[in-house]
Amino acid sequence: MKAMILKRISSLAAEKNPLVMAELPTPTPGKGEILVRVHACGVCHTELDEIEGRTPPPRLPVVLGHQVVGTVAALGPGSKKFGVGQRVGVGWIFSSCGHCEYCSQGEENLCDDFRATGRDANGGYAEYMVVPETSAHSIPEVFSDAEAAPLLCAGAIGYRSVRLSRIRDGQTMGLTGFGASGHLVLKMLRHRYPGTKVFVFARSKHEQAFALELGAVWAGDTEAQSPEKLHAIIDTTPVWKPVVEALKNLRPGGRLVINAIRKEDVDKEYLLRLDYPLHLWMEKEIKSVANVANRDIREFLQLASEIPIRPEYQEYRLEDANRALLELKERKIRGAKVLKIGLD
């Protein structure tokens, strides 16, 4: 099978093509696993973190990709959840121990043995992949393959972030950073919380205009002061500056939810500007988001199909994965980026 593989950690700015096309044996599903013929795979900022070593894979080479949509091509021994030919999706969660305190509570994202798709196990930048059937999800018919792919991570992690924000209808919400996850969160908020006004902070004038187009009541620069103090803010950026700036815009008792697997060190000195009375006083909170649980994917797919939430996306061929990743790093974004794989 064809696959784009990562052989070594490198800087995407210095090495424009960190992934190389390779021919790999088609994997065989083991006990409780399924073989998925991949049709589409979303491109996520976490892939940049993997390539550049901020969340490095435990071994190389590896096939990246964790927003995977395809059809079941074969069943491993004991697999009964899906039938051959059924369309499924796979997100960031590949597996967990299944029996610890967190797994028992449906919070397998916090399990010590959490394994990530496309990092700890080969992912969807390939024509085929294997996955435990417990971490695969039925895709609602209302979505095309390319529409469904971003929902599996950008959408599901956005859904978890909204849950953790504890927002209520009629309160004010801020989004700092407006890429794949941010634009899906805005669409979700407008449906579930019609009385909530959404304020967007983004560096790019293009992203600010896109946010207003999708229904934000205000959009400004990362350092801007919002017209109103906000009950909650979700940060989806890879750096520290938006975190510090967002805290200034929270109301007393407000909550900042940081939706990022890692933060880059390029502006770490910005943390030195934290001022307790300005940024944290009056019982403001900071809550991190760790991975995503199967519950988040399952519930968000159901919600997204009912609304329906249709992501904006740009499509690329598998062999153009490096170009999609570079554009993502350079903030050439309108919605999500999706690789089209194995189909004419």
The Cα 151–Cα 198 span in angstroms is 20
Q: Is residue 102 pLDDT above 90, yes or no?
A: yes
For 150, 279, 305, 315, the CA distances from 147, given in Å and listed in that order, are: 7, 38, 11, 10
Task: Provide the b/e sequence for 303-339 (b: ≥16 CB within 10 Å).
Answer: bbbeeebbbbbeebebeebbbbbbbbbeeebbbbbbb
pLDDT value at position 101? Answer: 97
Tokens of 156: 């599901």
**pLDDT tens, 187-199?**
999 999 999 999 9
Domain 2-139+312-340: which CATH number of 3.90.180.10, 3.30.465.10, 3.40.50.1100, 3.30.750.24: 3.90.180.10
What percent of the chain shows pLDDT beyond 90? 82
Write down the mean pLDDT value for the chain: 94
Delimit the CATH 3.90.180.10 region(s) of the chain. Answer: 2-139+312-340
8 A C-beta contact, residue 257 and residue 230: no
Question: Residue 223's closest CA among 270, 180, 190, 164?
Answer: 270
Looking at domain 156-288, does it have CATH number 3.40.50.720? yes
Residue-wise pLDDT tens digits, 265-311: 777 787 878 888 888 899 999 999 998 999 999 999 999 999 999 88
Using only C-alpha atoms, the chain has a radius of gyration, in whole angstroms, of: 20
Query: What pLDDT score was predicted for residue 343?
Result: 60
What are the tokens at 338? Answer: 């999706």
Give the pLDDT confidence of 17-45 residue by residue, as tens digits.
999 999 999 999 999 999 999 999 999 98
Which pLDDT does position 284 carry in this prediction? Answer: 96
Q: Residues of CATH 3.40.50.720 domain(s) within the chain?
A: 156-288
* 181 SS3 class: helix
